[in-house]
Amino acid sequence: MNTIVTAFINNVNNRYTNTIDVYYNYGKLLLKSNVPKVIFVDEDMYNLIGNNYEKNNTLIIKINKNGMYFYEHINELTNFQLNTDNPSKDTIEFMFIMCNKTEWVKKAIELNHFDTNNFIWLDFGIKNVISYTDEEFVKKIDNLKYQNYDKVRIGGIWNLSNYYGSDLCKDITLYFAGGIFGGDQISLLKFARLMKNKCIHIMTTYKTIMWEVNIWYIIYNENKELFDVYNCNHNNTIIDNY
């Protein structure tokens, strides 16, 4: 059995004009699923969700973004210069949210509210990149509860053996899809520890931060035995092939 972990924090970029409303509509579909879920949200989303969910299989936890360890280093990031065509989206704070996924999974494991051995991170807005109907989406999420792995199961897009000339500090890489990963407690806790250490090293040494998938690629190359990579893209395969 799996616990799904996800999170939403508003006002970290300008991706949509009405970000919270767009993501609330995505989140409502997750809330309909029967799989155990731990959902970390800021006060704005917490108030929107209200009591519109089944409490037997969903734990909603209100959080403050300033409690993330990244904010201890925000004033150090004097070399933050990503090569992006959407700088209003790819802000420092947005990178913090992306890189904190493993920390939220770690917290869910420590709580283990639903007493499961496997956990799956799923982006709160993952419905944005797939074409299931709403009903199909809910069924696909329900089926994830049975997908158990003893390594970090993660979707890969680019060939991990190839070098594409990317600057990992500035260019987004697509070695990993980013929207979903999972596994057993031991593997995911190790992944979270490696991710936090690597992020702190990057912020304090290189004075920047970047997309979580870039940092995952660095960790993968140093710890290949930790990962179980499957082929996918930013479409239905990201869930179908998990």
This prediction has a pTM of: 0.95
For position 19, what pLDDT does the model report? 75
Q: Which amino acid belongs to residue 214?
A: N
- What confidence tens digit (pLDDT) does each residue in 41-83 have? 999 999 999 988 888 999 999 999 999 999 999 999 999 999 9
Identify the CA nearest to 168 among candidates 201, 215, 122, 124: 215
**Rounded to an integer, what distance in angstroms lies between the CA atom of residue 25 and that of residue 136?**
15
Identify the CA nearest to 224 among candidates 118, 171, 165, 151: 151
Maximum C-alpha span of the chain: 48
pLDDT, the chain, mean: 95
Q: Collapsing DSSP states into helix, strand and coil, what is residue 201?
A: helix
What residue spans define the domains of the chain?
Answer: 2-240
For position 93, what pLDDT does the model report? 96
**Rounded to an integer, what distance in angstroms lies between the CA atom of residue 139 and that of residue 61?**
24
- What confidence tens digit (pLDDT) does each residue in 182-210 have? 999 999 999 999 999 999 999 999 999 99
**Rounded to an integer, what distance in angstroms lies between the CA atom of residue 48 and that of residue 188?**
30
For position 131, what pLDDT does the model report? 95
For position 9, what pLDDT does the model report? 94
Q: How many residues are present in the chain?
A: 242
80 against 28, higher pLDDT = 80
For position 21, what pLDDT does the model report? 86
State how beta strands 58-62 and 37-41 pair. Answer: parallel
Confidence of residue 6 (pLDDT cuts 50, 70, 90): very high
For position 14, what pLDDT does the model report? 73
**Rounded to an integer, what distance in angstroms lies between the CA atom of residue 110 and that of residue 188?**
11
How many other CB atoms sit within 10 Å of the CB of residue 52?
11
Confidence of residue 17 (pLDDT cuts 50, 70, 90): low
**Which CATH number fits the domain 2-240, given the four candidates 1.10.3470, 3.90.550, 2.60.220, 3.30.519?**
3.90.550
For position 222, what pLDDT does the model report? 98
For position 18, what pLDDT does the model report? 56
| pLDDT over 70 (residue 15) | no
Task: Please give, one letter per residue, the 3-state secondary structure of 97-166.
Answer: HHHCHHHHHHHHHHHCCCCCCEEEEECCCHHHHCCCCHHHHHHHHHHHHHCCCCCEEEEECCCCCCCCCC
Q: How far is CA 33 from CA 36, 114, 143, 157, in A?
A: 8, 15, 9, 27
Share of the chain above pLDDT 70, in %: 98
- What confidence tens digit (pLDDT) does each residue in 111-124 have? 999 999 999 999 99
